[in-house]
Structure 1
Amino acid sequence: MVKFCFVALALLVACCAIQAAPSYDDDVEAAWEKFQAHHPHKADATPQEIAKRKGNFAKTHAMIEKHNKNKDATFQMEHNKFSAMDDDEKKQYNGARPPPHHDGSRFLNDDDLAVSMRQLPASLDYRTDVCLASVKNQGSCGSCWAFTAISPLEFAQCKKSGTPVVLSEQQLVDCDTSNGDCNGGWYTTAWNYLKNGCAQQSLYTYTATKNTCKYTSAMSASKVSSYGYVTSNSTAFMQAALQKYGPLAVAITVVDSLFSYKSGVYSDPTCVNRGVNHGVVVVGYGDLYGTPHWIVRNSWGSNWGSSGYVLMQRGVNMCNIELYPAAIVTVV
């Protein structure tokens, strides 16, 4: 009798578990199957982990479907590698940590930029410039600050030497003790470290995890000499700095909608009045269907967004993009 009760109880628990499993609409199921073909779960994933991923995906799918049906939306969303991640997993792809204060002496001279402002082109786009390296992928390491620091340095070094160069973010992750490796950091702090030199990526490859520092001065392919912040919340000064110095390091506030960005001019009011949490690089500006935008290079790989880029609304400090712009002025 006791054995029978145990069997009955086990069956009851199993039935409850089956009944508790969420059900999804056919369109969600179809989208999930398509998603798994491109982003399969780990081979050793448990049924519970798969169910959690599917639940995350269903929430993302609902957000994407609702947004893309909005005729007033200025950008479109799509599924990508982030669709089945939870919030904690997504946070690993950010990592901007601004210092408590800024050194006022490190602001660029507004008078110099004012001269450049008189000759600003209607649009500017460095994406096709030979000095801008291919989009990179930080992976699940909060090292965006390193990628944000390196891209303008690569560009500046190339403009000086005439030869494209690909530099090492991993060196910053491993060796820059003023920043926090995969736990976040800040691009101007990294530039201060890079006054000591930066290795080429071929000599110091990226692993998306902190390792023992192996940099030596013999590896140096470039050094930061001087840099500075652009005046905050000034679109014109940012445009002038872009034209004069090249790509700008900036910080933004990432909210959930950005992870699913596909195309168009991104804007989301929910990122207003929040602290910055991600470093990216502004590589140009323009207008799309009458909406002014910045051309922004991300570090989530070329399969994200528009070949690794996002257009962000310009002139309204969208997601704080106009709050902390900075440029490398000279390199050695």
Structure 2
Amino acid sequence: MCFLSVLLLTAAIGVLLLSMTTTIAALNISADERRELSTDLTLWQKKFGNDDHVRTVTASANVTHNALLGRLKAAKDKLPALRAANPYATFSHLTKFALLTDKEFAQFASEASPGVLPSPGHLASAARLNRSAPVGGVIVDTVDWTTPPSCVPPVQYKGKCASNWAIAAAAAVSTTHCLATSEIINLSAQLTTSCAYPGGPDGCQGAGIAQDAMRWLVSQSKSLCAESAIPYTSGGTGSAPFCSDNTKCAGTISLRAGPIMTMNGEDALARQLQLQPVVAYVTTLNNVWKMYTGGIVSWCPPTVYVDQAMLVVGYGTEAVDDGTKSVGFFKVRNAWGTDWGERGHIRLQRGLNRETGTCKLAMYLAYSVLPSSRRSDATAGAIPHTPTMTTRGERAPTTQPTIDVEGA
């Protein structure tokens, strides 16, 4: 037998053994556990089986029923460790991404390339931001920019396109404009994905940076399109179409949003959130994000890099341990759809590491400066745009977040 034939036979045997191992692992369970897993799998398929990304992954991998049972069991076995590391959060083996392998999930979630973001040391410090802190420097107890009616655009689902960077950027700049003018807009995430890097890589390949996209949006202030004019389609196709001629939208939106500022640190983030939502990068390539369903996350596995841009939309506290303890958190809006997490959001514990934040939330922060008529001016001592201070239970005006004063 020639060497090539032996090599091919060896490879075939290896594939067969791997397949047998997967099947045996799925079948090496009691009849009761198999029935329970089968019931769970049916529930999962009913809820997420029509999701374009999930269907594409499982179809391309030619995953058998037994293999899916094996994946489901593996996910379920991870729950105790996740709950022990995050006592204030909830997790499930029946989330949208729970049955994806680590490699499959990374293909969906990974965006930022290592080394493309600036060193945190080059970003503005908390002390620098304190110059323009609203409310006389007081950090209020609770801020939530998503309370209806809200300036923040709806939660989106990025689908098969690695476009979190564009979605977060468009949402942030849209919100800044709304806060400055009281005009609610929703800038096109598709336009941002396709056009922020003219002549550059496909916007769905994960090479985009939210800060760059925000700068591009501000530079195009007289010719931007709304989501209704150029709707998001890359989530279904997995690729960004050629940049369309956005001059057709000229005059429809006269954007009011200032330069893009960067900073880092939890204190800086909390103070800026009293003025507006803030773009942040986080680390999501782990089982915490894959299987999260609600509550406050305290821990992510250690890693050097962040991988995805999101919009921080508030912060607050929650009573835990039967009301004997209060835990602070930041509320973060993802772009994985409303059927992930807390209707598209995750809460990350605040105060564990004020420099980097939980899951590195506070390392890379960016916002578009509110126009001078709507932001605080430390030099003049005036604060034209001060978030409304409310006692608990009061409704805030349209263009202001819901805010509670500490001790109210």
Please give the TM-score of this superposition, normalised by the length of structure 2.
0.69
Q: CA deviation at 1:103?
A: 11
Residue of structure 1 equivalent to 2:220: 196
CA contact (8 A) 1:64 1:77 kept: yes
Residue of structure 2 equivalent to 1:227: 260
Q: CA RMSD in A?
A: 3.1
CA contact (8 A) 2:22 2:70 kept: no
CA contact (8 A) 1:74 1:266 kept: yes
Structure 1 residue identity aligned to 2:118 = H
Structure 2 residue identity aligned to 1:39 = F
Residues 204-224 of structure 1, C-alpha deviations (whole Å, 9 max, x = no match)? 111122111113234253364
CA contact (8 A) 1:136 1:302 kept: yes
Alpha-carbon spacing, 1:145–1:117, altered in 2? closer, same or farther (3 Å) = farther
Which of residues 4, 29, 34 in structure 1 aligns to 2:38?
A: 29
Residue 314 of structure 2: SS of its match in structure 1?
A: strand
In the aligned structure 2, how far is the partner of 1:276 from the partner of 1:303? 23
Q: CA deviation at 1:187?
A: 0.8
In the aligned structure 2, how far is the partner of 1:37 from the partner of 1:252? 30
User: Is 285-294 or 77-86 further displaced after alignment?
Assistant: 77-86
In the aligned structure 1, how far is the partner of 2:191 from the partner of 2:76? 38
Residue 258 of structure 2: SS of its match in structure 1?
A: strand
In the aligned structure 2, how far is the partner of 1:71 from the partner of 1:99? 30
Q: CA deviation at 1:193?
A: 1.4
Structure 2 residue identity aligned to 1:36 = Q
CA contact (8 A) 1:199 1:215 kept: no
Alpha-carbon spacing, 1:124–1:268, altered in 2? closer, same or farther (3 Å) = same
Residue of structure 2 equivalent to 1:61: 76
Residue of structure 1 equivalent to 2:290: 259
Which of residues 122, 137, 154 in structure 2 aligns to 1:118?
A: 137
Residue 295 of structure 1: SS of its match in structure 2?
A: strand
Which of residues 176, 188, 192 in structure 2 aligns to 1:168?
A: 188
Residue 95 of structure 2: SS of its match in structure 1?
A: coil
Residue of structure 2 equivalent to 1:310: 346
Q: CA deviation at 1:283?
A: 0.7
Residue of structure 2 equivalent to 1:99: 116
1:213 is the counterpart of 2:243:
yes
Structure 2 residue identity aligned to 1:191 = M
Residue of structure 2 equivalent to 1:136: 156
CA contact (8 A) 1:125 1:283 kept: yes
In the aligned structure 1, how far is the partner of 2:257 from the partner of 2:122? 17
In the aligned structure 2, how far is the partner of 1:294 from the partner of 1:88? 28
CA contact (8 A) 2:260 2:367 kept: yes
CA contact (8 A) 1:281 1:297 kept: yes
CA contact (8 A) 1:175 1:215 kept: no
Q: CA deviation at 1:168?
A: 0.9
Residue of structure 2 equivalent to 1:7: none
Residue of structure 2 equivalent to 1:183: 205
Residue of structure 2 equivalent to 1:76: 90
Residue 225 of structure 1: SS of its match in structure 2?
A: coil
Q: CA deviation at 1:71?
A: 9.8
Q: CA deviation at 1:190?
A: 0.7
Q: CA deviation at 1:164?
A: 1.3
CA contact (8 A) 2:41 2:69 kept: yes
In the aligned structure 2, how far is the partner of 1:325 from the partner of 1:100? 11
Structure 2 residue identity aligned to 1:228 = M
In the aligned structure 2, how far is the partner of 1:285 from the partner of 1:117? 19
Residue 259 of structure 2: SS of its match in structure 1?
A: strand
Structure 2: gaps (5+ residues): 1-15, 320-325, 373-408
In the aligned structure 1, how far is the partner of 2:61 from the partner of 2:142? 51
Structure 2 residue identity aligned to 1:260 = M
Alpha-carbon spacing, 1:261–1:212, altered in 2? closer, same or farther (3 Å) = same
Q: CA deviation at 1:39?
A: 2.4
